[in-house]
Structure 1
């Protein structure tokens, strides 16, 4: 592997555990400035202090969120976008380049691909081109791959999720983000067939902190490499405490009850 890529990957993955906690903050382009994404510096301070490995955002946000102090956190620049105001919200368009990421000091770039969408061919082409460009610069590429389209019966179906992960691997991504299939046994079929790190998406807001921690714990036991969780973290009642608990699960091998106890420990 390119040395520059290796160095950058170590900024978004814990070099001792080989796992990561990524907090995506790119939702503003899709749905607007929702709760948790108004004061970006405050949000990043909270998740960084909790022990997040990286945050992910569009190219215009670093100027509104670079802190210049506090705990460091990796930076991933997202290159593709769509909005919920569009009649085609699943059709992602490239809105930034690998070079934009380099100029911003990013440790990685990311792209979003929705398999099964009517514009799949365009997104596949974009991911392939970004992958080649990123490789030439030694820039790690995270591919967010979901199955969303008229022929897709369930985007959480294990065979479908495994297909998503395989597409990212075959197009040259270094890390792939996919939905969690719901249980360790089925998710292990996804990770076993993919030679790059697989991280799980947070998905819709979950019902409890226990559910969030259990999902993270089970995905790791199935061979996952961590999580890329947005609103379940930045809209939490206490994002710092939640990330601390997730850090314990992901990097310290805590079980769910041990991690939950951290949420109520004064020194956590």
Structure 2
């Protein structure tokens, strides 16, 4: 494991909670609900104390300008895509930041994050992702920066919510996670499967590459915590949650609850009690 990852994973539990706050890069107004004031958002999260915060190159200095050794690590988003719009733009694209690894080194990031998108009818988007991953990996290896690949299996959003929605089909997720592993991922950020009992197959596909589970859209607290326990019990090494933290009425409380589940194996009921206790 690359040395920087020692600042991501808790030394006692071996797990991590990364709060994703990189939504503003995707040019969707709905995505910035709850994070309109980014300095305040970052300050709140630093106080809550997750293991890492995932930010873009434009917002990362808000975290790294805070003094002290104990603040969360930085995971740097390195690409931008337009696959969530309603209506969708044409052509679809994903673009990586050419100097992202240099920026990550300068900002003392613990890892970088890049998408591996699988969209029905658009293999060219996955090709763009693969080219980005290979280009970034070359520099990441040179500088010892861990690369988190985010394999996203998408489906057409028939509910009319705009763009593409997550496809939780186990076989599709396993196949794309395996490709992320083959491309040299140091970390894999993968969606939960529709059948949570299958998640050990995703972990198996990643072999010894740590799997962190995406949070996706907003769900109620009990559902979120139960899902978290289910994937951790099957071998996931942590979680990367965004909207379920930053759009919560009590971000500090839900962070405390998630940290208790991730690092202390707290029960769902005990974790729920922490949410109100952190107000």
Pair 1:19 & 2:15 matched: yes
Question: SS of 1:15's equivalent?
Answer: coil
Q: Which of residues 93, 118, 132 in structure 1 aligns to 2:123?
A: 118
Deviation, 1:69, is 4.3
In 1, Cα distance between equivalents of 2:259 and 2:8? 13
Tell me which of 9, 14, 20 is aligned to 2:5: 9
- Where 2:54 maps in the other structure, the secondary structure is strand
Contact map agreement 2:155 2:166 (CA 8 A) in 1: no
Q: Which residue of 1 aligns with 2:89?
A: 87
| Residues 158 and 244 of structure 1, relative CA distance in 2, 3 Å threshold | same
Distance 1:248 1:35 in 2: 26
Mapping of residues 159-198 of structure 1, within 5 Å: 159-195=171-207, 196-198=209-211
| Cα distance, 1:148 vs structure 2 | 2.6
TM-score for both structures, normalised by structure 1: 0.89
Q: Once the 2 structures are TM-superposed, how far is the Cα of residue 122 of structure 1 from its aligned partner? A: 2.0
2:72 alignment counterpart: 73
1:204 aligns with 2:207: no
TM-score of the aligned structures, taking structure 2 as reference length: 0.86
CA distance, structure 1, for counterparts of residue 211 and residue 93 of structure 2: 23
> Match of 2:32, SS?
coil
Is residue 179–residue 202 contact of structure 1 (8 Å, CA) maintained in 2?
yes
The CA deviation at 1:21 is 0.5
Q: CA deviation at 1:160?
A: 0.9
- Aligned position for 2:159: none
Q: Which residue does the alignment assign to 2:161? A: none
**In the alignment, which residue of structure 2 is the partner of 1:107?**
110
2:245: which partner in 1? 233
Matched residue SS, 1:123: helix
Q: CA RMSD in A?
A: 2.3
**What is the aligned partner in structure 2 of residue 48 from structure 1?**
46
Cα offset, 1:11, TM superposition: 1.2
Structure 2: tracts of 5 or more residues without a match: 157-163
Matched, 1:213 2:225: yes
| Deviation string, structure 1 residues 6-59 (Cα, Å, up to 9, x no partner) | 2x1011111221111111111111124722222223222222332311111111
Query: Is the alpha carbon distance of 1:221 and 1:131 closer, same or farther for their aligned partners in structure 2, counting shifts above 3 Å?
Result: same
After superposition, the Cα gap between the structure-2 partners of 1:60 and 1:98, relative to the gap in structure 1 and judged at 3 Å, is: same
The 3 A distance-change label for structure 1 pair 90 and 50 is: farther
